[in-house]
Amino acid sequence: MKSLPYFCRGAVVRGFGRGSKELGIPTANFPESVVDNLPSDMKTGIYYGWACVGNSDVHRMVMSIGWNPFYKNTKKSMETHIIHKYKEDFYGETLSIAILGYIRPETSFNSLDALIKAIHNDIEEARKQLDLPEHQKFKDDDFFKTSKKEIMNGH
């Protein structure tokens, strides 16, 4: 995809409430305005990259962009699972992401267990990809440093 790497940020909004509760895999969701601004050539599916909440550290992430066929969503969403344990929710915080690569198309599943297994496989694939030197360098990209300065200065 020509649009990769793709950098964006926005406030974390409440999603569908199933990531943590139903799947055991919490996600941070972007508002519709961020989703609506995705480049037209970014197809739906599962992606990997880096993410930063507020002015905290940059962590690996895996992200679903699309309609989540298993749940039959009517609105396109961007749901980011940051591969890091947070002690509490961070609704309203600024989430900055760098999308670096594509893992697979979105698909429906026969069961919740099959969906959870696929997500865990996506997380492992993201870990492997983000260990590569060509992806590691983005962890220290100026995009994340700029975000931290703006947030610390109240912008």
Residues serving a catalytic function are 79
d(CA 37, CA 58): 23
Q: In what order do the strands lie in the sheet with 45-53?
A: 6-11, 94-104, 45-53, 58-66, 77-82, 28-29
Q: At 18, which amino acid appears?
A: R
In the chain the beta strands, taken as DSSP E runs, fall at 6-11, 28-29, 45-53, 58-66, 77-82, 94-104
Exposure of 123 in the CB half-sphere (CA atoms within 13 A): 15
Strand pairing report for 6-11 and 58-66: unpaired
